A and B are shown apart, each in its own frame.
Chain A
Amino acid sequence: MSEVHNDVQAYTLRLELVDEPGELLRSLQPIAEHGGNLLSIFHERGNVTPRGYIPVEVDIEATPDRFDNIVEGLSDAGINVIQAGTERYSERLTIILSGHLIETDLSDTLTQIEATRNATVTDISLSAPAGSIDVSSARFQLAAASGATEEVLAAMREIADEKDLQLVEPLTVGGRA
């Protein structure tokens, strides 16, 4: 039979749940149903995403086949799967944005970056030499889904364009970030 596909791996699922009673339990059902082995749940209750969801990180063990079914089951149940996989955010990249960062709403900028789905912001360093009225700069450390660097950078360009910010991209030619 499919013995070759039987190797169990660890996966991290990042979910975004609606802030309603029973949502967490509901999200765990597809995992059990499709034969996933729950390892840990990290429930950031106090932490609400800019879109009003509660982020939850779930570590599970499953075979690749079963894992695919789990992700499908979660989506079918209407649960937001933000990140699914072993090496989902395997590429790290740094960008610098400069301009009227504060006036153009830094937190909205962050939300937009997060909303690109293929990237998550892991670190921000802000430098606002002359206060917020003036031009300020920030360095963003991003983790991007493997193979999605170009896509993520294209999204950054759009955000920078829209907010009239200057974007300094990493040199990625030939696959380097």
Chain B
Amino acid sequence: MRLCVLGAGAVGSAVVELAAEHGHAVTAFADSESAAVDADGLDADAVLSKKRDDGVVGEAPPEAVFDAAYDVLVEATPTTLGDAEPGFSHVERALADDRDVVLANKGPVAERYADLRALEAESEGTVRFGATVGGALPILSTIEDVGPSRVSAVYGVLNGTANFVLSRMAAEGLDYEHVLAEAQDLGVAEADPTFDVDGTDTALKGVIVANVLSDGETEFTLDDADVEGIQELSGSMLDLAQEDGQTIRLIVEVADGGVRVGPRLVPENGAVAPSGTENAVQIEADYCGRLGITGRGAGGPETASAVLTDVERLTD
């Protein structure tokens, strides 16, 4: 497949780096200011080192990518709330041109699911977005395989940063501020970790799951989610939990047509109390009962691998 990759951050760059390994060529690549286009496939090393050294991927303007020859648009620009731009317009353009789309960007799927599906219905192209929930973990593909209508609940941990902070607070008895600063030093938390710790990122993922489960019957957006963050938790609350064999994790619950995110008491060594930056979800479905998926949820290469898995699924 010929890929057009939008976004040259952790995810977009990793897609460019790993594409060849998966048998795909990257024919167009853009960041917020520039683009590189080559119908025969870009040289990954060259374009990535240009981004590193010069801060741009090429000399062309970003819009140039849409005139390139490509089969699949990989959308890895920043997740934005509300209108989900610029991601949404990128997807719109690609679908109008009957291309397939694979999203890492959560915005269009969480905030404008119905619009997205409507555009897809009019296009020859298909939209996939497995990377948006749990990165490399096959959460959406498992729901797809089981059948969304058979799934009664999905719950667990879907944000590695919040989980890291809470597991450190529990292990060291330290307070939130202290551990967050440490996580930023380690590069686990971003300079602005607001969306990770206030529950927004987790909620977006929950909303995406809810949209998939409802299968177009009800559209969910962030506004429909009940969201609480972890900023107010103290080390002593985690101690109290621990004395009782429990711990506190930032949990998303998608069940009964609702999305709820907040700190919850869970068994200390239970299925939804992963350690460090891991994610862990449980999917409750007819016939299979409770399915658990645990592992590294995010990161550039992890998310890129999920993107490339989706690209492969397009050809099925």
Contact = CB atoms under 8 A, between A and B. Distances in A.
Contact of B152 (A125, A129, A174): A174
Nearest to A126: B240
A174 B236 contact: no
B232 A139 contact: no
A169 B251 CA distance: 11
Interface in A137-177: 137-139, 141, 166, 168-171, 173-174
B253 A171 contact: yes
Given A127-B240, A171-B155, A95 B232 contact: no
B265 A94 contact: yes
Contacts of B266: 170-171
Interface in B73-124: none
Which of B240, B251, B272 is most buried by chain A, counting CB atoms within 10 A of its CB?
A: B240
A168 B155 contact: no
Interface string A56-80: 0000000000000000000000000
- SS class, residues of chain A in contact with chain B: strand
B264 interface: yes
Contacts of B263: 168
B284 A96 contact: no
Interface residues of A, number: 20
Contacts of A125: 240, 243-244
Contacts of B18: none
B155 A174 contact: yes
Contacts of A141: 244
A98 interface: yes
Contact of A129 (B236, B264, B284): B236
B313 to A, nearest CB: 29
Nearest to A177: B265
A4 B176 CA distance: 60
Given A94-B265, A139-B240, A174-B255, 18 more contacts: A94-B241, A96-B240, A98-B234, A98-B236, A125-B243, A127-B237, A137-B234, A137-B240, A139-B243, A168-B248, A168-B265, A169-B262, A170-B246, A170-B265, A171-B253, A171-B266, A174-B153, A174-B155
